[in-house]
A and B are shown apart, each in its own frame.
Chain A
C-alpha cells in the first residue's frame, strides 16, 4: 500500500515538473537559431520542407551519426540471432504447428504491400517538398514487407539483394556527403547538397542533391529494418 502511494506521488511530481512544457506547447517563439533556419533554409538550399534542410544539410553530420546507430543496431541483431540460429535448420510451418494466415489478410496484403512501397518511395523522393523524408519512407517500406511476412510466413527475403542495397546506399550516402564537403566551396560542410543546381523551389528536381541523398537514406533504412524483422521472424521459428 505504502509503495503504491509513493509511486503515485512520484508520478504526480513528474507530471507537475513537466507541466510547463504542456502548458506552453505551440506558444513559444522560435529562437534565434530556429529563425535563421526558417528564413535561410528555403533560400539557401531550395527546400520547401525546412525540417529536411536541417536534417540533411545543416545538421548532416548528426544524421550520419543516426545512420550509424541504426546500422550498428541492425548488425548487432543480425549477428546475435544468426549465431543462435546456426545448428538447427529451418522447420516447415506445418511442423511447427503454425496455422495458415486467413484469406482476408492474404488478399489485403497483396493489395496493400505494393501501395505501401509506392507511398514510402513517394515520401522519400518528396522529402524536400512535403513532410517526411528518408527515415519515414524507409520505415513505411519496412511495414509493407512486414504485412507481406504476416500474410505468408513461408515467404523468404532475397538476403543478397537486401545486403547489396544496404551496403551500396550507405556507401553512396557517405560518398555524396564527402562530395558536398569538397566541391561546394569554402563554407561548405558535410552533406552540402549544392554541388547540383538548386532549381526552382517546389519542383521535384530541386534542392540540389537532397532528393538523391534522401532516397539513399530511405533505401538504407528500409533494407535495415526489413533485415531486423526478417532476423526476428526466422529466430522465432
Chain B
C-alpha cells in the first residue's frame, strides 16, 4: 500500500513529466498558435503541482495569470502580427 508521501511524489512526478512534455512540444512546434496554447498548458499543470503541494493561493495566481491572462496577451499580439502581415502582403500585391 502506498503511503501519502509516495502518492504525492507520484502525482507531482506525473504532472512534472507532463509539464516537461508540454514545454518541449511548445518550443518545437512550428505553429505559433499551438506554442502559445501549450505554454498556457504548462502553467495550468504547474498550478496543479502547487495545489498538490498545499499552496492553493499560489495555484490560483498561476492558473489565472499564467494560463489565462498571459495566454490572452500572447494571442492578442499574435492577432496583431497577423493583421500587420496581411496588410504588408496586400501592399506588396497592389
Contacts and interface: CB of A to CB of B under 8 A. Distances in A.
Interface string B34-61: 0000000000000000000101110011
B72 interface: yes
A206 interface: no
B80 A131 contact: no
Measured as residues with beta carbon below 8 angstroms from the partner, the interface class of chain A is 20 to 34
Contacts of A96: 83
A232 B83 CA distance: 14
Contact of A139 (B8, B60, B72): B60
Contact of B68 (A26, A132, A143, A232): A143
A136 B60 contact: yes
B53 A25 contact: yes
Interface of B: 8, 53, 55-57, 60-61, 64-65, 68-69, 72-73, 76-77, 79-80, 83
Given A140-B64, A146-B68, A146-B69, 9 more contacts: A25-B53, A131-B55, A131-B60, A132-B57, A133-B57, A142-B69, A150-B72, A232-B77, A235-B80
